[in-house]
Chains A and B, each alone.
Chain A
Amino acid sequence: MRALFTIFRKEFLENLRDRRTLVSALLLGPLFGPLLFGLMVSRMLDQSVAESDEPLKLTISGADYAPGLTRYLETRGVQLTRAELSETEARAAVRRGAEVVLIVSREYGPRFTAAIPAPVLLVADSADSQTRKSADRARNILGSYASSLAQLRLQARGVSPLLAVPVAVNDVDVATPTGRAVVVLGFMTYFVLFAVLMGGLYLAIDSTAGERERGSLEALLSLPVARSSLVGGKILATCAYMCISLALSLTAFVCVFRFVPLERLGMSANLNARTALIFFAICLPFVPLGAALMTFVASFTRSYREAQTYLTTVLLIPTLPIAFASIYSLKTQSSFMFIPSLSQHLLMTSVLKDEAIPALDVWMSAAASLAVALVLMVLTARHWRRETMLG
């Protein structure tokens, strides 16, 4: 037990002096997520705010054929640019970057007077998310122009316009502001788990493959120290770095969200010091699992470079259950609590949504993660007892 602590202390201090470990554990890992996140969310905010405020820009061709429509568009605040374009020219213009082009054809006038559907062409690029939104807005405005005209026509013929509306559809949106925020914050949980793993990445490499590459492994293995203590000390040191990284990451998230005005999107991020502490507690059982997994994988590698290659793949492992769950949009179930990373993701999401969490779920999540961690530790210690460990 004392040997384990000696090893822990040495690995901890040694890596505190290693720039590579520090940059990845205390800078890249914990800050990458929150910064990327802050940027992403602010950009989304800017975009959606800009869209609702900015007037719709529309290029109209043949405005003279439809003076009523043109006036209506102007009263709805649409910024019209008049240009005479054929359909082919309009297609080319849209491809070149003009947002949306509306073409009123020559027959519009006569057909309108005869009360036969009068054709207009709306040229837009649905593959471009920006102009697709503009096209939707244009379609809405044109639709409301058409339906108000229809009502007038029915009235003029002595028919109640209500006859044309057999069903009235009213939307009721039950999304709460925090619930809406979860859509945005769903990613966040992955970044938290990512920060945990990043925190221990270099220590896991340095204490295994690094030991071998440096040539210090054989001397270490010939000491009167149980291999399980060796492995235990190394995993414990990795855990310590992971905890630091996790704490930094959560702090950074809390800070970032203090500056991101989520309320303007009709969301409220339920992320404050208290939730951050709960997140820390939820992720804590994942720490020994991550540390044991990385140490286990790194123990099989011969060099720093090889270990790096394998461990960057390991960084992606916690995404798999989360991605799987979101593709199939799985609802939280107690049985998922047996799947590490997914259970942490679901628990954190529930906290963000301000939902009640069954205590049993928390215990199950912790127990499952710790059990897997224990198995991996035993496997690692067993590998270290093998002769092949010498390489």
Chain B
Amino acid sequence: MIEASNLSKRFGPIEAVRGVSFVARDGEITGMLGANGAGKSTCLRMLYGVLTPDGGRACIDGIDIRGETSKARSHLGVLPHAAGLYGNLTARENIHYFGSLQGIEGERLRSRTAELARILGMESFLERRAKGFSQGQRIKVALARALVHDPGNIVLDEPTNGLDVMAIRNLRDMLLELKAQGRCVLFSSHVMQEVAALCDRVVIIGHGKVLADATVQSIRDRSGGGSLEEAFLRVLSLTDGVT
């Protein structure tokens, strides 16, 4: 479970995030929807502790990310917006590197890598150097890298960016699989359809604030039988939203 309570962050004169609170539950996929520059990445970065909030706090499975950073992080897998690989290392070595930095070694690391390779369909390029990988292959390795320590919570920052239709569908299946395993999945996106198709809950962010936090079903209900897109737009207009 990932909890954000009253998070705020400013960069000089710009208030990037202003009192954001929400909860992403286990066994659910939570989507964070917002326009470019709405504050999604800043929020996520505070959740995985590479940015320090000016106010509020973030907890992973009840562990404060500022207080016990290492412990909280071991419960968390992160796929940042820029998820580059080490080109001179093979896919396996990339995964093993992060695995050993998460404290996993030896046989456990090998079997976990084999398992991820099977689930993500990476067997064909596991021993190849990452230099010439396609965007789809790269995202798979980056995801495997984030999941190598078997975390209960996964944060993904715009994971579908730059992926083709096939790769997006693959990713979607993977996220559903993670949800089925009872994990907490939180991902950000600026594509409404993507969020609607995948998420149980949606947190809509605009101007650094939470504009709406509801289940996809309740938003659908509120629209009174209209299309989902209309429902979203209504939520946005009700809350003085943008986009």
Once the chains bind, are A387 and B51 in contact (CB under 8 Å)? Answer: yes
Q: Does the CB pair B83–A222 fall under 8 Å?
A: no
With A7-B101, A224-B70, A390-B45 as contacts: A215 and B84 at CB distance below 8 Å: yes
Q: Which residues of A contact B73 (CB under 8 A)?
A: 222-224
A214 at the interface (CB under 8 A from B): yes
Contact B84 A214 (CB under 8 A): yes
What is the bound-complex CA distance between A215 and B83, given in angstroms? 6
The yes or no answer to A258 lying at the interface (CB within 8 A) is no
Docked Cα-Cα span, A7 to B84, in Å, equals: 17
Task: Let me know if A148 is at the binding interface, CB within 8 A.
Answer: no
Contact for B98 among A18, A219, A390, CB less than 8 A: A219
Q: How far is the CA of A13 from the CA of B96 in the complex (A)?
A: 13
**Chain A nearest Cβ from B203, distance in angstroms:** 20
The answer, among B51, B101, B129, for a CB contact under 8 Å with A3, is B101
A305 within 8 A of B: no
**Contact of A219 with B81 in the complex, beta carbons under 8 Å:** no
Q: Which residue of chain B has its CB nearest to the CB of A18?
A: B88
* A contact residues, range: 20 to 34
B146 touches A219 (CB 8 A): yes
The answer to whether A390 touches B51, judged by C-beta atoms less than 8 angstroms apart, is yes
- Chain A residues with CB under 8 Å of B140's CB are none
- Other-chain contact of A222, B52, B80, B97, B103 (Cβ < 8 Å): B80
Q: Which of B86, B100, B103, B129 contacts A216 (CB 8 A)?
A: B86
**Of residues A7, A215, A223, which shows the largest number of chain B Cβ atoms within 10 Å of its Cβ?**
A223
Confirm or deny: A218 has a beta carbon within 8 angstroms of a beta carbon on chain B: yes
Q: Is the CB of A218 within 8 A of B97?
A: no
Question: Could you say which residues of chain B place their CB within 8 Å of the CB of A2?
Answer: 100, 103
Smallest CB–CB gap between A19 and chain B, Å?
10
A6 touching B101 by the CB < 8 A rule? yes
Question: B90-127 vs A: 1/0 string, CB under 8 Å?
Answer: 00010001101111000000000000000000000000
A214 pairs with B49, CB closer than 8 A? no
Known A-B contacts A223-B98, A224-B74; A218 and B146 likewise in contact (beta carbons under 8 Å)? no
Given the complex, which residues of B lie within 8 Å of A226, measured CB to CB? 70
- Residues in A with CB closer than 8 Å to B98 are 219, 223
Q: CB-CB < 8 A to A387: which residues of B? A: 50-52
Q: Is A150 an interface residue (CB 8 A)?
A: no
CB contact list, A366-388 vs B, under 8 A: 387
A222 engages B78 (CB within 8 Å): yes
A10 vs B129: C-alpha distance when bound (angstroms): 14
Residues of A201-222 whose CB lies within 8 A of B: 214-222
Complex contacts, B74 vs chain A, CB 8 Å: 224
Q: For the complex, what is the distance from the CA of A17 to the CA of B87, rounded to whole Å?
A: 10
B20 at the interface (CB under 8 A from A): no
B97/A390 in contact, CB under 8 A:
no
Q: Which residue of A lies closest to B99 (CB)?
A: A6
Asked if A107 is at the interface (CB within 8 A of a chain B CB), the reply is no
Q: Which of B74, B88, B101 has its CB near the most chain A CB atoms (within 10 A)?
A: B101
Whether a CB of chain B sits under 8 angstroms from the CB of A281 is: no
Contacts of A13 in B (CB 8 A): 89, 93
**Contact residues, B62-83 vs A (CB, 8 A):** 69-71, 73-74, 76, 78-83
Inter-chain contact A218/B80, CB cutoff 8 Å = yes
Residues of A within 8 A of B69 (CB): 224
- A7 and B96 CA atoms in complex are apart in Å by 11
- Among A6, A217, A219, A222, point to the contact of B142 (Cβ < 8 A): A219
Q: Are A219 and B80 in contact (CB under 8 A)?
A: yes
A215 and B79 CA atoms in complex are apart in Å by: 11
Contact check, A223 vs B101: say whether CB atoms are below 8 A apart: yes
Does B219 make an interface contact (CB < 8 A)? no
Task: Look across to chain A and name the residue whose beta carbon is closest to the beta carbon of B72.
Answer: A224
Of the candidates A14, A15, A214, A219, the one having the most CB atoms from chain B within 10 angstroms of its own CB is A219
Confirm or deny: B58 has a beta carbon within 8 angstroms of a beta carbon on chain A: no
| A216 CA / B83 CA spacing, docked (Å) | 6
- A residues in contact with B145, CB < 8 Å: 219
Distance between Cα atoms of A215 and B51 in the complex (Å)? 17
Query: Which of B70, B76, B78, B86 contacts A214 (CB under 8 A)?
Result: B86
Complex interface: chain A residues within 8 A of B103 (CB): 2, 224
Q: Are A219 and B101 in contact (CB under 8 A)?
A: no
- Kindly state whether residue B147 has any CB partner on chain A within 8 Å: no
In the complex, whether A225 has a CB less than 8 A from a CB of chain B is yes
Q: Which chain A residues border B82 with CB–CB below 8 Å?
A: 215-218
Task: Tell me, rounded to whole Å, the shortest Cβ–Cβ distance linking A123 to chain B.
Answer: 65
Q: Is B85 an interface residue (CB 8 A)?
A: yes
Residues of B within 8 A of A225 (CB): 70, 101
Q: Can you identify 18 A-B contacts, CB atoms within 8 angstroms?
A: A2-B100, A2-B103, A7-B101, A13-B89, A13-B93, A215-B80, A215-B84, A216-B82, A216-B84, A218-B80, A218-B81, A223-B102, A224-B71, A224-B73, A225-B101, A387-B50, A390-B45, A390-B50
Known contacts A6-B97, A214-B87, A219-B142; can you find 15 more A-B pairs with CB under 8 A?
Answer: A2-B103, A3-B100, A7-B101, A14-B88, A17-B129, A214-B84, A216-B84, A216-B85, A218-B50, A218-B82, A219-B78, A223-B102, A224-B73, A224-B102, A387-B50
Q: Can you list the 4 inter-chain pairs with the closest CB atoms, starting with the nearest? A: A215-B84, A215-B82, A224-B70, A218-B80
